[in-house]
Structure 1
């Protein structure tokens, strides 16, 4: 059972990385970037948040350096996805699939960020903040590079809020003595569900 849960987490991580990278590819293509630009923006979107977190807590090697296979995988992904036409990116089915995967990635990365902060001794609030940093800062850096106001700062459906609440759920589960793996799965499920619900019903912060 635990073995299958670990494999499920690995799949969520893979899908989350691809979904985050795909949003970077879309923005880079919209700005007319070449393959180098597309690859760079996809890498930054996928790993920017984790890199900022690792630098803040002094965790080395950086996640994408330690898991170098992801960097190679994203190179292949960028090469395969870059030539596709705008029709592909605007397809409603493709959009829905990647919105769901993005929500899964948000849940995973924010939970991992909160976990790593907790492990190095950060308090409850700082651990939540670093969970949010891990989940959203890649997108923030992507938008800045693409000369856009970061989407997470616009008054859109809940995003950073989902990461914050999901991180809090993870830490509360740990506080009540639940093991880390089930706490992680609960937090990912909560964050993913909240993000999808907020999109479906256009839930926004009141101000």
Structure 2
């Protein structure tokens, strides 16, 4: 299938790794918000699976992969359990989690775009759903904890790398040259751009010529 960028076993392992990392970030936020064990599990599930669920429902891939593959549902619960018992230790490796999160972002924006295209969407719509696959879970997570979604205040350029990766896939699809190699180029480009944004604190531009006396909200 087109959205299988790598051999099935490797693709499945990468999907699970991305789900685990996203779930861990959601569970850690739940701990910081003093959620109970149920809240930790819910936030882990929403963060890990929300983007993929949205994509599958839009393109009509039902039941969504999250419900058709038991490991996709169990993996976030495993991450939530680890964070519940070991959150001080997990928090200490936050930098590593951020790097893995960048890898998950890169993989999901590319696989999400190709899967949407395979289900008959145009290039632009496929790229949009690729971005939604990568960042949708984070948006739902932020809404549930009553925070402004990071997508709307793209500090350290979280959504922009996903947009670049999805756009690259759309270009490759339009040119008829989407292969595991070119898909890998899109993944690596997204991953490196996200790492550079974290390293140098890049962010998307604010409103042009903004001169408001009101300080930006934290």
TM-score, normalised via structure 2 length: 0.85
Question: What secondary structure does 2:85 align onto?
Answer: coil
Deviation string 1:2-24 (CA, Å, 9 cap, x unpaired) is: 99865544343222111100111
CA distance in 2, matches of 1:14, 1:158: 24
For residues 1-207 of structure 1, what are the structure 2 equivalents within 5 Å?
A: 7-85=9-87, 87-91=88-92, 94-207=93-206
CA distance in 2, matches of 1:169, 1:60: 27
Larger Rg: 2
Cα separation, partners in 2 of 1:3 and 1:139, compared to 1, 3 Å: closer
CA distance in 2, matches of 1:4, 1:71: 22
Q: Which runs of 5+ in 1 are unaligned?
A: none
Aligned partners of 1:170 and 1:186 also within 8 Å: no
CA distance in 1, matches of 2:75, 2:144: 22
Q: Which runs of 4+ in 1 moved over 4 A?
A: 2-8
CA distance in 2, matches of 1:4, 1:52: 23
CA distance in 2, matches of 1:76, 1:90: 16
CA distance in 1, matches of 2:155, 2:130: 20
CA distance in 1, matches of 2:119, 2:78: 34
Shift of 1:126: 1.1
CA distance in 1, matches of 2:131, 2:197: 17
Q: How many residues align?
A: 203
Shift of 1:186: 1.8
TM-align CA RMSD = 2.1
Shift of 1:116: 1.5
Aligned partners of 2:116 and 2:126 also within 8 Å: yes
CA distance in 2, matches of 1:206, 1:10: 36
Cα separation, partners in 2 of 1:71 and 1:155, compared to 1, 3 Å: closer
Shift of 1:176: 2.9
Aligned partners of 2:5 and 2:11 also within 8 Å: no
